Amino acid sequence: MKRTPLVLSAVLAIAGCASTPQPVYRTSPYAAPRVPSGPNLFSQAPSAPLHSELFACNGGGGSNVGPVGERGEATLYTPYIHTAAGALLRNPTESACLSSGFGWRTLANGGGREHTGLDLANPNGGFVYAAADGWVSYAEWRGGYGLAVEIDHGHGVRTFYAHLNEIDPNLSSGAFVRGGAAIARMGATGNATGVHLHYEVSIDGLKVDPLNYGAAPPLF
């Protein structure tokens, strides 16, 4: 693992996200839990389930989760994001609810900042899956994002997974991963107070709303 320079760590710490307003900063790359000894649990992991719905945590409200229906379901949700690189999973978790959406987020102290991805939370953790086939850009500690993975899917499409508890030890920069393969376990490393996946999708370097981008066109 590369050591992140101190200045870059500080910038990334600010850029991280928390599911509650009290951030916890851990800048040492050695503070993060690593893969336990024993057999590699990723090699026997199930592939990604396809979630037909995504529910807002606590029924929605209090966060920028976007529109929700009567049952608390995210009404913009569809299982796939359609991109130039093919379909990406919109919810690459084992099981999670939507705790925060993309865009401006107001904090309890009256401030606010831009949130550049979705937060998919599950206090019990669970597997995180590659959203589609691609090549690992990096799998390492990234300041406020904690343990993080970026996958390059080609055609300018990239996905980013942060606050991970542990990463498949076979995942190294340049490795090819299959869509739906387990790549990590959800965690709360870096600037995060609750166990969740911070998930970003970028197109040609521009971060887009993973909940809203690339919905299937209507059939009629």
Site of interaction with Zn ion (CB under 5 A): 17, 119, 198
Query: Tokens representing 80?
Result: 């796939």
Among residues 17 and 139, whose Cβ is nearest to Zn ion? 17
Supply the minimum distance, in Å, between the C-beta of residue 100 and Zn ion: 6
- Asked if residues 177 and 135 have their Cβ atoms less than 8 Å apart, the reply is yes
E-state strands within the chain: 80-83, 86-89, 97-100, 103-106, 112-115, 118-121, 127-129, 134-141, 147-154, 157-164, 166-167, 176-177, 182-185, 196-203, 206-208
Nearest to 182 by CA among 43, 18, 40: 43
Minimum separation from the CB atom of position 116 to Zn ion (A): 8
Minimum distance from residue 191 beta carbon to Zn ion (Å): 9
Question: Contact 195/187 with Cβ under 8 angstroms?
Answer: yes
Residue 17 beta carbon to Zn ion: minimum distance, rounded to whole angstroms: 3
Distance from C-alpha of 49 to C-alpha of 46, rounded to nearest angstrom: 8
Residue number, nearest CB to Zn ion: 17
Shortest distance in whole angstroms from residue 198 CB to Zn ion:
3
Q: How far is CA 203 from CA 6, 39, 109, 200, in A?
A: 29, 36, 32, 10
Nearer Cβ to Zn ion, position 17 or 56?
Answer: 17
CB of 17 or CB of 186, closer to Zn ion: 17
Q: Report the residue number, 19 or 83, with the smaller CB distance to Zn ion.
A: 19
User: Nearer Cβ to Zn ion, position 42 or 89?
Assistant: 89
